[in-house]
């Protein structure tokens, strides 16, 4: 905590710690509410620098994401200061409100997907993420909390082998349907105006890069289903999602594949 305070001391403005992310980074809110600071220990400084670079690349491209205000790096870690995206995280909405906000959230994500992927140098390809998963499994670092209950009794190696069996098919699909993905399109990363229920922007883009669009669609649906009280709401949102994206035949097996891969990439 002391190194975090030292990295923020130069601003001469008060900061309040608001959360610690799943990555272990510390997040602080500036007292005027107009900026946030994310602070990573030295072991994660490169990852935080990657998020900074992605935000800088997205500047001026018409996507509602935080703007980089400042970057500080020291022996103990690094600090990224960004503008605030107004609103509340979609995870804080109830099921009815989330369903009303849903179409604008889909459109916001699609605006990212529609950017020219061939101009983006950031890679979140399946081959890269599978290699990351293999490393996590080899180190026995899979976080069971990220796994669905039905997989709790399976070994990490078994879970990885299950993903690997489908790898050739999914690599071929990625080559056809690759876009610029958010990479972690979960409900905490969609900001929503609580009054108008319109999506105001996207945050936490440290995993953004070229990938199969189903990477984002799978996480978006699965994470939101934890908020909806009924399966009917979930099915309605599923239909809205793919109708908005003009995808007439959603590939449920492809969605399931990326949901099996994602939990293995976080250790």
The residues carrying an active-site annotation are 184
Query: 177 among the known binding-site residues?
Result: no
Q: What is the spatial distance between Cα 101 and Cα 230, in angstroms, rounded to a whole number? A: 17
Query: 143 among the known binding-site residues?
Result: no
Q: What is the spatial distance between Cα 192 and Cα 108, in angstroms, rounded to a whole number? A: 11
Q: Which candidate, 38, 32, 35, places its Cα nearest to that of 54?
A: 38
Convert the chain into a string of H (helix), E (strand) and C (coil).
Answer: CHHHHHHHHHHCCCEEEEEECCCCCEEEEECCCCEEEEEEEHHHHHHHHHHHHHHHHHCCCCCCCCCEEEEEEECCEEEEEEECCCCEEHHHCCHHHHHHHHHHHHHHHHHHHCCCHHHCCCECCHHHHHHHHHHHHHCCCCCHHHCCHHHCCCCHHHHHHHHHHCHHHHHHHHHHHEEEECCCCCHHHEEECCCCCCEEEECCCCCCEEEECHHHHHHHHHHHHCCCCCHHHHHHHHHHHHHHCCCCCCCHHHHHHHHHHHHHHCC
Binding-site residues sit at 189, 204
Binding-site residues for Mg(2+) sit at 189, 204
């Amino acid at each position: 905590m002391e190194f975090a305070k030292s990295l923020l001391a130069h601003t001469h403005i008060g900061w309040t710690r608001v959360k610690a992310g799943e990555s272990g980074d510390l997040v602080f809110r500036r007292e005027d509410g107009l900026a946030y600071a994310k602070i990573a220990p030295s072991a994660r400084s490169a990852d935080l620098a990657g998020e900074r670079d992605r935000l800088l690349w997205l500047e001026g491209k018409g996507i509602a994401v935080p703007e980089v205000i400042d970057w500080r790096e020291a022996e103990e870690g690094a600090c990224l200061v960004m503008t605030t995206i107004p609103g509340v995280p979609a995870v804080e909405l109830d099921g009815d409100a989330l369903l009303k906000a849903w179409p604008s959230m889909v459109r916001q994500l699609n605006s990212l997907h529609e950017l020219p992927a061939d101009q983006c140098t950031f890679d979140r390809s399946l081959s890269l993420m599978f290699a990351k998963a293999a490393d996590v499994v080899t180190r026995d670092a899979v976080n069971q909390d990220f796994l669905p209950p039905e997989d709790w009794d399976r070994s990490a190696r078994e879970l990885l082998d299950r993903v690997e069996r489908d790898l050739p098919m999914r690599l071929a699909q990625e080559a056809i349907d690759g876009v610029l993905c958010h990479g972690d399109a979960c409900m905490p990363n969609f900001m929503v105006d609580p009054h108008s229920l319109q999506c105001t922007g996207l945050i936490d883009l440290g995993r953004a890069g070229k990938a199969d669009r189903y990477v984002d669609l799978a996480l978006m649906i699965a994470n939101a289903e934890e908020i909806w009280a009924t399966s009917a709401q979930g099915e309605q949102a599923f239909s809205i999602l793919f109708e908005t994206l003009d995808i007439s035949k959603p590939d449920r097996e492809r969605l399931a594949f990326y949901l099996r891969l994602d939990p293995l990439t976080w250790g």
